[in-house]
């Protein structure tokens, strides 16, 4: 299995973002709807905490499929009421969790609402 991060020129210069990833051969792991809740099932009130828990759920799903964050080739992030402050918090928190030197192709999408009141949800594809 190989996957290459490809940056097309001219591409916007946005740290931690890759505009495309080429995957050749092997298996793909599709992860849908990772959402982070507290142990009691409640929605975290702190957005950074919600991000950490959501990436923890993503990591759990990756491990169950025999993958790691490094195997991610496509990530969609959905954030309720996305604004510049939430975008900043997401980038800072994500960058502490995932190495962004060779990022997956990714999109962050502002939405009105998510499952059970969550503020962030992630679906992803990993090449394993």
Indicate the pTM of the whole model: 0.84
CATH superfamily of domain region 2-127: RutC-like (3.30.1330.40)
What average pLDDT does the segment 69-82 reach? 94
pLDDT above 70 (res 8): no
Q: With CA atoms as reference, report the closest residue to 18 among 86, 72, 90.
A: 72
pLDDT the model gives residue 15: 59
Alpha helices in the chain (DSSP H): 47-64, 84-97
Cross-strand bridge partners of residue 76: 107, 123
What is d(CA 43, CA 50) in angstroms, rounded to the nearest whole number?
A: 7
Query: What's the pLDDT score for residue 100?
Result: 78
- When pLDDT is averaged across residues 59-81 and rounded to a whole number, the result is 95
């Amino acid at each position: 299995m190989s996957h290459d991060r490809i940056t097309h020129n001219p591409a916007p210069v946005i740290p931690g973002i890759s505009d495309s990833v080429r995957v050749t051969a092997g298996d793909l792991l599709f992860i849908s709807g990772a959402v982070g809740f507290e142990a009691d099932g409640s929605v975290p009130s702190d957005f950074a905490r919600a991000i950490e828990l959501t990436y923890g759920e993503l990591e759990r799903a990756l491990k169950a499929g025999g993958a790691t964050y490094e195997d991610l080739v496509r990530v969609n992030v959905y954030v309720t009421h996305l604004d510049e402050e939430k975008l900043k918090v997401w980038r800072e928190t994500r960058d502490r969790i995932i190495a962004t030197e060779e990022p997956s192709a990714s999109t962050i999408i502002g939405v009105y609402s998510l499952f059970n009141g969550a503020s962030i949800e992630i679906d992803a594809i990993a090449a394993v």
